[in-house]
Amino acid sequence: MPKPSMTGRERILAAIRHEEPDCVPIAPRVWAWLMAEHGSQDLATHLRVFPDLDQMFPVEDGTFNTLDVYPDTYALPGVRVEQRKYREGDFIAVERTFHTPAGRLSDRILIPPDGREFGVTPNPVRTEHLVKGPEDLAALRYVLAPINTNLDFLVPLHRELGARGVLMVVVRCALDHNAGHARDMADLMVDFYDNRLFFDELIDIFHQRSIAQIRAALEGGAEFIFGTWYFTSLSAGWSPAIFAEVFAPLIREQVELTHRYGALYDYYDDGRLAGSMELIAATGVDVLETCTPPPTGDFDLAHAKRTIGHKTTLKGYIDLLHVVQNGTPATIEEAVRAAMETAKPGGGFIIGSSDSFREGTPQANLDAYFAACKRHGRY
């Protein structure tokens, strides 16, 4: 006998409690496809275009990130900013110099145009990083904007979302768009061996900011933290041993803080997880995504279900490129069926995608994906 129908919110929370809801929640990432096809990725567009999506909607916490945004003016107390923007081929070059009480910092960024071969919201290229060495850390603290503590914008979003899902406040880890943008990632890996004190201090500057962001979000009413950790991924080049020594304790601190407020923690890494998933699960995260399978990733869904699936909800798994974008309705059907057969029993599974569905994905394939999820996901 079919279970009574649940709302998206009820379905998601039941799955995270490792209960069997009426059907497996369907929560792929769709922002890139929405940007390409509809020019917006806001909540209203998500709700309108994807009525069958159980929304796990991520929203930024509102803290200004100097390393990731290049406005015409900066509100940094005691800091004078010189900035020049100009075209360099297809790119917009941004050159910045920050004059702080502790010294001068400079960087240079090349911003590719949206669309074309660069894709939707392409990543910038840094030809000069802000932090060149330990001597820059004192000045770095001056260019980091205050943490946003006003989360009132969550109230209308909760009202708009209603029972169709949950809101997740995005807080990036110490590396993601933080230390990994302030300093070249390859240099950071060398720093770990050659100048550990410098490495640890740089990471700690941004980790303490992430902790402050989480605390502000939770005190502002957030019920979910969406923690991004892809710069710390084994795909980025870190070893499992370094991950266990350096990053696992930072994850645990974020998760424990989140749980003290009665909220839930969704851990995001769209890279390889086979060598780190047990370390991540041991920190107490509630949800692990994106569980990317081969050939792009290395996630073995059956092994994960056996080893960590009893305590960590697995989310994602369906390959956005090889299965959904470049596949057929038949291959999508088979991939979804196999995933459900493996991970559905006992709850603890939210079917999604290996990252956002991309521009160029046929509408017929998206329709096939949602249809297969509904067909094979019912308990």
Q: Do 111 and 154 lie in a common domain?
A: no
Higher pLDDT, 3 or 79: 79
Q: Do 55 and 201 lie in a common domain?
A: yes
Amino acid 116: pLDDT: 64
Q: Do 100 and 223 lie in a common domain?
A: no
Instruction: Answer yes or no: are the C-beta atoms of 157 and 59 closer than 8 Å.
Output: yes
> Percent of the chain, pLDDT > 90?
96
Average pLDDT over residues 170-197: 98
**φ and ψ of 219, to 5 deg:** -70, -20
Amino acid 11: pLDDT: 98
Q: Do 107 and 153 lie in a common domain?
A: no
Residue 1 has pLDDT above 80, yes or no: no
Amino acid 121: pLDDT: 79
Residue 26 has pLDDT above 90, yes or no: yes
Residue 9 has pLDDT above 80, yes or no: yes
Number of domains present in the structure of the chain:
2
Q: Do 251 and 275 lie in a common domain?
A: yes
Instruction: Answer yes or no: are the C-beta atoms of 356 and 33 closer than 8 Å.
Output: yes
Residue 291: inside a domain? yes
In this prediction, residue 117 has a pLDDT band, given cuts at 50, 70 and 90, of: low
Query: pTM for the full model?
Result: 0.96
Residue 1: inside a domain? no
Residue 214: inside a domain? yes
Q: Do 105 and 223 lie in a common domain?
A: no
* Residue 264's CATH number: 3.20.20.210
Q: Do 273 and 246 lie in a common domain?
A: yes
Kindly provide the residue ranges of all beta strands, DSSP E only, lying in 112-217, ordered along the sequence.
Answer: 125-128, 165-172
Sheet with 349-351, edge to edge strand ranges: 55-60, 165-172, 224-228, 264-269, 287-290, 313-316, 349-351
- Residue 368 has a CB neighbour count (10 Å cut-off) of 20
Residue 266: inside a domain? yes
For the chain, give the longest Cα–Cα distance.
70
In this prediction, residue 3 has a pLDDT band, given cuts at 50, 70 and 90, of: confident
Half-sphere exposure of 187 (CA within 13 A, CB side): 15
Q: How far apart are the first and last CA of the chain?
A: 9
Residue 136: inside a domain? no
Q: Do 120 and 29 lie in a common domain?
A: no
Amino acid 321: pLDDT: 96
Which of the listed residues 131, 159, 174 is the one where a domain comes to its end? 131
Q: Do 227 and 255 lie in a common domain?
A: yes
Amino acid 372: pLDDT: 98
Half-sphere exposure of 332 (CA within 13 A, CB side): 26
Residue 137: inside a domain? no
| Non-local CB neighbours of 166 within 8 Å, separated by 6+ positions | 9, 12, 13, 55, 56, 57, 223, 224
Q: Do 13 and 96 lie in a common domain?
A: no
Round the average pLDDT of the chain to a whole number and report it.
Answer: 96
Q: Which tokens sit at 98? A: 């920050």
* pLDDT (tens digit per residue) in 58-98: 999 999 999 999 999 999 999 999 999 999 999 999 999 99
Residue 285: inside a domain? yes
Amino acid 101: pLDDT: 98
Q: Do 123 and 236 lie in a common domain?
A: no
Residue 72: inside a domain? no
* pLDDT (tens digit per residue) in 188-225: 999 999 999 999 999 999 999 999 999 999 999 999 99
Q: Do 147 and 282 lie in a common domain?
A: yes
Residue 301 has pLDDT above 70, yes or no: yes
Range of the domain at 122: 80-131
